[in-house]
């Protein structure tokens, strides 16, 4: 058995069961296997949820001594949590995985250039809004000058990554959303709720238009919207990379930055899911109270009701569920309920709306071959629906689906659902 202070047997922060205790909830029924994207592609037990839980339990019990022996199987997991939805025993797979990754990173940190670069980028660039904005501006310039094309030709970018690495949308990374308190227009009935908008690390520089649409929709529906200047990255990518201490630092900063808000609004499913789990991550009452007031924007608007009718949109659209919204937060009906109120919009179902698209944070860059295959299956399902628009509420999913659609010659546009809730101008 593991005996260090990092032992998985230790009680988790806040008195919750440890990750090891959570592995014991698995009764090995296998009902999660058919929904697991990596098991669907690879067909290997160790690349299934049940197999991974078995491996993590074996590590915790000391039956596996070397974390590197199980690392490739955990690295191939998207942390999509489809297995949690399928599991009849309520196994908290995400919690087990993220805790184990953190313990492995502490016990035996990854070495080499790729590991160093990943850690450097996550902490010194992604988690710092200004630097990230500059990085996207440089990337965009490189794309315009054809440097990306040249780097691909010279094979400086691995071919598997080159074919799916998303491009920076034109107009991205220009000006940040104005911070401070925004009030509804004088002709709109105020609802007396002070919301605060989380703008996200990737959402703002890549899809600033989504943050602007979220702000406009909330104001048009009568809500005060604060955009706190002191907010930081949510820390989800750091948790996934096994660096919970750094994620906790960001979480504490966000708890303080949003202290005055009645409701914290998120339009990025991955960030929203991570922020709803701050109680577990930080383990104090303030973080738990913060987590309790976090809402996805669709969840909030469906709960309070739209008072501003959205502009007409005569198009055929499919809604695709981001994993961290449907599996991570249990939000499925709300975006569909809101989209049903868009005049003229024909919302059609497609085959696998809850299957992962293969984006999963930076998974598509770390596991490009698997991400391509998982993405291909998603596009097949969307293409069969024959739609003009794909709607999904997470920046990573928007980039991944858009990149696959372009690569396969489809003209379908990808938008965030909030963009269709804007009232007529
Ligand atoms: S989180 Fe997703 S990829 Fe990982 S084991 Fe569960 S279903 Fe499979
Ligand atoms: S469905 Fe749940 S209990 Fe069954 S094998 Fe998967 S994780 Fe274990």
Model pLDDT for residues 336-351, shown as the tens digit of each residue: 999 999 999 999 999 9
Q: Residue 88: how many CB atoms within 10 A of its CB?
A: 9
Residues 191, 297 within the same domain: yes
- Pocket of ligand 1 from Cβ distances under 6 Å: 35-38, 49, 52, 77-83, 93
Ligand 2 centroid to Cα of residue 25, in Å, is 8
Crossing angle of the two packed helices 368-385 and 395-407, in degrees rounded to 10: 80
Residues 64, 90 within the same domain: yes
Q: Bridge-partner residues for 345, per DSSP? A: none
Ligand 2 centroid to Cα of residue 251, in Å, is 30
Mean pLDDT across 367-383: 92
In the chain, the number of structural domains is 4
- Nearest alpha carbon to residue 199 among 171, 235, 166, 229: 229
Q: Which atom of ligand 1 is nearest to the CA of 94?
A: 1
* Domain containing residue 22: 13-107
| Residue 177 and residue 227 in contact, taking contact as beta carbons nearer than 8 Å | yes
CA distance 146 to 140: 10
Mean pLDDT across 207-235: 96
| Residue 297 and residue 265 in contact, taking contact as beta carbons nearer than 8 Å | yes
pLDDT digits (tens, 9 = 90+) for 117-128: 888 888 888 788
Does ligand 2 lie within 6 Å of residue 114's CB atom?
no
* Ligand 2: residue whose CA is nearest its atom 8: 26
Residues 187, 297 within the same domain: yes
Q: Regarding beta strands 294-296 and 263-266, do their DSSP bridges make them parallel or antiparallel, or are they unpaired?
A: parallel
* Residue 310 belongs to some domain of the structure: no
Ligand 1 centroid to Cα of residue 47, in Å, is 8
* Residue 168 belongs to some domain of the structure: no
Cβ partners under 8 Å of residue 238, min gap 6: 122, 123, 127, 244, 246, 247, 250
Ligand 1 centroid to Cα of residue 300, in Å, is 28
Averaged confidence pLDDT in the chain: 89
Q: Which atom of ligand 1 is nearest to the CA of 76?
A: 3
Give the pLDDT band of residue 154 (cuts 50, 70, 90).
Answer: low
Quote the pLDDT of residue 82.
Answer: 97
Ligand 2 centroid to Cα of residue 280, in Å, is 22
Ligand 2 centroid to Cα of residue 56, in Å, is 14
Does ligand 2 lie within 6 Å of residue 22's CB atom?
no
Does ligand 2 lie within 6 Å of residue 107's CB atom?
no
Residues 328, 416 within the same domain: yes
Residues 103, 119 within the same domain: no
Quote the pLDDT of residue 176.
Answer: 81
Give the pLDDT band of residue 13 (cuts 50, 70, 90).
Answer: very low
């Amino acid at each position: 058995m593991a005996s260090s202070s990092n032992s998985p047997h230790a009680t988790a922060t806040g008195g919750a069961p440890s990750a090891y205790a959570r592995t014991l909830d698995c009764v090995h029924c296998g009902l999660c296997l058919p929904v697991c994207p990596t098991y669907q592609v690879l067909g290997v037990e160790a690349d299934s949820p049940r197999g991974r839980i078995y491996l993590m339990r074996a590590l915790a019990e000391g039956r596996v001594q070397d974390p590197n022996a199980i690392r490739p199987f955990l690295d191939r997991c998207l942390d999509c949590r489809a297995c949690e939805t399928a599991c009849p025993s309520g196994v908290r797979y995400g919690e087990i995985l993220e805790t184990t990754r953190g313990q492995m990173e502490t016990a035996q940190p990854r070495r080499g250039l790729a590991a160093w670069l990943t850690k450097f980028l996550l902490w010194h660039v992604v988690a710092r809004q200004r630097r990230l904005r500059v990085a996207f501006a440089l990337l965009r310039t490189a794309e315009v000058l054809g440097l990306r094309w040249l780097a691909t030709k010279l094979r400086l970018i691995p071919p598997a990554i080159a074919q799916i690495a998303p491009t920076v949308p034109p107009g991205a990374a220009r000006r940040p959303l104005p911070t401070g308190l925004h009030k509804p227009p004088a002709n709109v009935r105020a609802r007396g709720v002070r919301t605060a908008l989380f703008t996200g690390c990737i959402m703002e520089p890549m899809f600033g238009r989504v943050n602007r649409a979220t702000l406009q929709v909330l104001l048009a529906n009568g809500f005060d919207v604060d955009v706190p200047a002191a907010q930081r990255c949510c820390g989800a990518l750091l948790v996934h990379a096994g660096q919970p201490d750094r994620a906790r630092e960001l979480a504490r900063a966000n708890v303080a930055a949003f202290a005055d808000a009645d409701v914290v609004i998120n339009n990025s499913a991955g960030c929203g899911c991570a922020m709803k789990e701050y109680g577990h991550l930080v383990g104090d009452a303030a973080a738990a109270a913060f987590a309790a007031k976090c809402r996805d924007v669709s969840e909030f608007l469906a709960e309070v009701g739209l008072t501003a009718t959205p502009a007409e949109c005569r198009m055929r659209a499919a809604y695709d569920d981001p994993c961290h919204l449907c599996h991570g937060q249990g939000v499925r009906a709300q975006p569909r309920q809101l989209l049903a109120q868009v005049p003229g919009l024909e919302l059609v179902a497609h085959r696998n709306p809850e299957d992962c698209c293969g984006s999963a944070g930076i998974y598509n860059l770390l596991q490009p071959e698997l991400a391509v295959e998982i993405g291909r299956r998603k596009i097949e399902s969307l293409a069969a629906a024959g739609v003009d628009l794909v709607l999904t509420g997470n920046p990573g999913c928007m980039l991944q689906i858009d990149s696959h659609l372009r690569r396969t010659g489809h003209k379908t546009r990808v938008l965030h659902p909030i963009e269709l809730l804007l009232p007529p101008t």
